[in-house]
A and B are shown apart, each in its own frame.
Chain A
């Protein structure tokens, strides 16, 4: 590998798209496949500008179907490969990501959500939550990290490569148009110097030695002949997935002690939620905060621990109930009331959440 893109830790001020490109470099990603779509374009732009300096590669494909499948192909060849997309591009990419689930291909996809359905807006939403978690014609055997800041975009993009290759499930970093386009500070670092392991990549196809004689054969299939055969395979995958859950599930909480109302939000909306909790705590309101970082698998255990202690849970999201469904599923059987705050395709400010929460306290 050529010179290191990042040596000493340094504070920078940049867009989220730029932070993702740096993270992929730091994670020693070897190739990006991509097709342009707003608001993720600059991930490609920065990658293509930076990649040649560090002997990394880029391929622009003819569409997102192709970008998804070439990313799978890059991984099969043993490369830490990734792609980035948004909106309708994310829809097209699900074809390839289903194959990645079936064949256990550790792809990494960065999604910068835009408005939906269809072309909608190029700006922002959280409407790709369900799609990113469950987009294929299967059970959604994948890892989805929902980030809320540039630091997290950097941290979790690096982590995504490691986790994808460790568990061999397709892994997604779920950002949004705000995170893509805004500028804020973060620290770039070399994960190796922090003692963080890099993904151990290896070729799935074209290995040395005679298959079945000198080594195990690589038997990669996405087609099965019998129901029983498929059932057996998927059941094994589900077992692997469930075993992984306690090792990967992540969440963030604050102010839960004595909280009567807990506000639940993910991604960038969690910043408005934290802001609101801070303001309301200063007013003496008993309000707490819960944020799933992994949306898939969902931190069900923690939420079920919190729920019975609260009088009400408020779910705030820039979508019409996509996070809400995950929360409902996690809380099946619990009786705590859920209060929706849905703004599909629209940003949520701290000020409006303060007012909404105040009204829930009966003011």
Chain B
């Protein structure tokens, strides 16, 4: 299991957790690495916590789900509660600082718990729509699963058709990736 990076991303439906997971593993795969991504899915059409399990490795990945994550990113209160079970002594736990009064719910056994103002930055500096791309930038910085350039290529691959219509979106998304990475870099420095 060594050498495999395990990431659990969780948020509310519509926060773009699954898109981010999809783009991230695609980026790793395009770099020739082994990646595995599985969304949680149930009978509900909406509502409920949206959870994505991603693993990136240099060799074939084992079981699709895991118990001990290297990185957990939780974007809502329910997501915090839901993902505590994937935290262990080596886990970096990141949550969005916009959540109020969540302190008692945070895991106590993590290696490090980090609050990042992704939502605030999305709203004030960039655009609410790129909130999830900020999260992706943060995840990449925290785990170094792919190079930033590769991440940008994967975003381009996924959203290129939108960028073609409005090139400003490209700039916005790339900026979001970089800001996300900065947030983690600053906090871990």
Contacts and interface: CB of A to CB of B under 8 A. Distances in A.
A184 B35 contact: yes
Given A122-B43, A183-B36, 16 more contacts: A13-B25, A13-B35, A38-B41, A122-B42, A123-B41, A178-B38, A178-B65, A181-B38, A182-B36, A184-B36, A268-B64, A269-B63, A271-B64, A347-B63, A347-B65, A349-B67
Interface string A258-291: 0000000000110110110011000000000000
Nearest to B30: A13
B42 A121 contact: yes
Contact of A149 (B1, B22, B40, B60): B60
Interface string B49-62: 00000000000111
A181 B66 CA distance: 16
A340 interface: no
A13 B29 CA distance: 7
Interface of B: 1, 22, 25-26, 29, 34-43, 60-68
A348 interface: yes
Nearest to B22: A183
A272 B62 contact: yes
Contacts of A193: none
Tell me whether chain A's interface is mostly helix, strand or loop, or mixed.
mixed
A328 interface: no
Interface residues of A, number: 27
A351 B42 CA distance: 24
Contacts of A139: none
A351 B65 contact: no
Interface string A151-173: 00000000000000000000000
A102 B63 CA distance: 38
B35 A122 contact: no
A185 interface: yes
A213 to B, nearest CB: 58
Contacts of B43: 38, 121-122
